[in-house]
Amino acid sequence: MGATNPLDLSCVNAIRALSIDAVQKANSGHPGLPLGAAPMAFTLWHRHLRHSPQHPHWPDRDRFVLSAGHGSMLLYSLLHLTGYDVPMQQIQNFRQWDSLTPGHPEFGLTPGVEATTGPLGQGSANAVGMAMAERWLANHFNRDGHTIVDHFTYALVSDGDLMEGISAEAASLAGHLKLGKLIYLYDANDITLDGPTALTFSREDVAARYEAYGWQVLHVKNGDEDLDAIDQAIAQAKAETSRPSMVLIHTTIGFGSPNKAGTESAHGSPLGADEVELTKKSLGWNHAAFEAPDETKKELRRAVDRGQQMQAEWETRFGKYRDAHPELATQWEQAHSGGLPENWNADVPTWPVGKGPATRVAGGEVLNALAQNIPWLVGGDADLSVSTKTALKGMGSFDGQTGAGRNIHYGVREHAMAAAANGMCYHGGLRPFTATFFCFSDYMRPSVRLAALSHLAPVHVWTHDSVGVGEDGPTHQPVEHLMALRVIPNLHVFRPADANETAEAWQWALQQSKSPVGMVLSRQNLPILERDNQDVGRGAYILSEAKGGKPDAIVIATGSEVHLAVEAQAALAKKGVNVRVVSMPCMTLFAQQDTAYRDQVLPPNVRARVSIEAGVTLGWHRWVGDKGVALGIDRFGASAPGDLVLEKLGMTADAIVTAVHDVLR
């Protein structure tokens, strides 16, 4: 064991003590991880991490992700002690209403928090996306000796993180891509909430698994005390640029606690007032709660001056870069501000009324047109680009070593794909998209939810949107998915009626930067509809007005059922029934409109309403009312040609005509 400088040890113990004090005051939290992981966290932050507490958004900072988000007080202690705008009052308000120190870290709330973590495994996969972003941006922007992108991504991961399947998907992808600037610090304490990891994790050699993924794996035997060994391992990891690295650090959960160290009782509950005092005594920490020696605080606050110096030096470099490459500098600023280039949508196609393509095909054409003018629009699919039509033509495959290429081949790894896209958004500078079959959005849902919670804006292309998938059968036919996703706050799900609505939905998605968007697109061809209005960005609009503007009934439809509503409108008109057709490509956006607009589209005095959508009817009665009829599919699908399945399950113009007659009786 290397000798530990007394001041360094005091800094480590300051992190430990502050963390357990906050958990104890809140009477809620996880004290064990901060006690055990403080040495690795201090060593990383004090000796290696390039960051600037006064400039937490400095673009070329190293990224640090606490994937083990339950140990959030470790991160909050680091932020407070190194000089971020996280004052002591916020530490003392840990886990309280309206504080900057919630139970698990939240991006956009607390300065210095790089990702919203908590669900285990997410942060580890986010870090993979961040490392991918760094590689792509370095390749695109660094020019002629002018380097403005050159940083590492670190994640502190736990036993629980590495049990989750998402971490395996992400690590496999990172190893394949050879992301040499990605480093995990593995807090291997052999304890989870229910007890020793031997209960569930006894037969697995994690180091061998990561080596098999293509990672460098380094070992630190005494992570509780040996700062020099941790330091040397991190330095060795940074020196290896041809593959990602894991530093496997053996620690004791709850280190220093005389009665709880090394046990599950230190994991998810406060130590108790008496045990806090005993722990501090065993650590040689003789200071009041929330107090630390001035020399210790001064040492940790050295990060402020160091960070200001690094950030100022980068600003100087960027000034020279702007002089040498003004167009790229403008791109950089647009990409990092959520802006768009001039004429970004100039080449987006439109389609004439008549026969049209499947919206997945139209979506691919729109995406390629947008990508030509938005260089930082990048993404990929879960081994389905031939079907989703999302390949960016002529733009190459992403190479994790060089950063070249804009098509990311995620393989059959939907969960990691969505989390990596989140990581790119957290990192900044890229606008990522993903693609897979709509039914497989179930594998992405946890990451999609976190994107919505964190106000990230990836675009998820979900094709093969209904039972119209056909012969593949019910395993591949989404039924409940539309409504299941619509209930996620701040997620906007578009199901366009035709190619033109698809183009408009894509443009709406890219003009905002605070919400994830789902593009739910058809496998089958859909006609291009004549429209009296077009207002996709408001969620719903009057697509075809009733004769004389005075509807007897309203039919509301989405996606591939909108053209059926138009057919039914024509059939009903021949019988003297005037029907307004409303296209509702994004239910959540329509719900956010003011009452005046909603009443304009769906007048309260027209209570004869019918909705049709090839999915569950749950939720539709908000729009059709108690006296309306919601046509849908409240069962699983079937294996047969898509048109036949839709017909058999009632997705027809005739069914709409019958329903309208019923509501008018």
Active site residues: 414
**β-pair type (541-544, 579-583):** antiparallel
Residue 547 burial (CB < 10 Å; 0-12/13-18/19+)?
Answer: middle
Which helix (H) or strand (E) segment holds residue 210: the answer is helix 206-213
- Bridge partners (DSSP) of residue 376 are none
What is the DSSP annotation of 261-324? TTSGGGTSS---HHHHHHHHHHHT----TT---HHHHHHHTHHHHHHHHHHHHHHHHHHHHHHH
* Strand-pair partners of 461: 435, 519
The residues, any chain, with a CB within 8 Å of residue 604's CB and separated by 6 or more, are: none
Kindly give the pairing relationship between strand 195-196 and strand 191-192. antiparallel
Q: Which amino acid is at 420?
A: A
Which pair of structure tokens corresponds to residue 297?
């605080």
475 and 448 Cβ atoms separated by less than 8 Å: no
DSSP code, position 183: E
Give the contacts of 345 (CB within 8 A, at least 6 positions apart): 369, 370, 373, 507
The conformation of residue 143, written as its DSSP 8-state character, comes to B
Residues 6+ apart with CB under 8 A from 512: 457
CA distance linking residue 162 with residue 267, whole number of Å:
17
Residue 488 has φ and ψ, to the nearest 5°, of -75, 120
As given in the structure block, the two tokens for residue 175 are 């190893």
Tokens of 387: 């079907």
**Residue 529 DSSP label:** P
Sheet holding 245-250, edge to edge: 63-66, 153-158, 182-188, 245-250, 216-220
The answer to whether 625 and 601 are in contact (CB under 8 A) is: no
Q: Over the Cα atoms of the chain, what is R_g? A: 28
Q: Which of helix, strand or coil describes residue 155?
A: strand
State the Cα–Cα distance between residues 551 and 545, nearest whole angstrom. Answer: 8
Contact criterion met (CB below 8 Å) for 556 and 540: yes
Instruction: With H, G, I as helix, E, B as strand and everything else as coil, classify residue 88.
Output: helix
